[in-house]
Chain A
Amino acid sequence: MISRELKAASSKPVILSILSKGDSYGYQILQDILELSGGKWEWSEAMLYPVLHRLNSEGLIQSRWEVQENGRKRKYYGLTNTGREALVTEQAQWMNVHNVLIQLWNPNSKLSME
Chain B
Amino acid sequence: MLIKILMAGFGGQGIMSMGQLLAYSGMLEKKAVAWIPSYGPEMRGGTANCSVTISTSPINSPVVTEPDILVAMNRPSLDKFEDALKSGGKLFINSSLINRSVKRQDIETYYVPANELAGLLSESKVLNMIMMGALLQVAPLVSPMSVMESLRMMLPESKHHLLSLNSRALQMGAAVFKNQTAKENSIVAG
- A and B interact: no
Query: Which positions in A face B, CB cutoff 8 Å?
Result: none
Query: Which positions in B face A, CB cutoff 8 Å?
Result: none
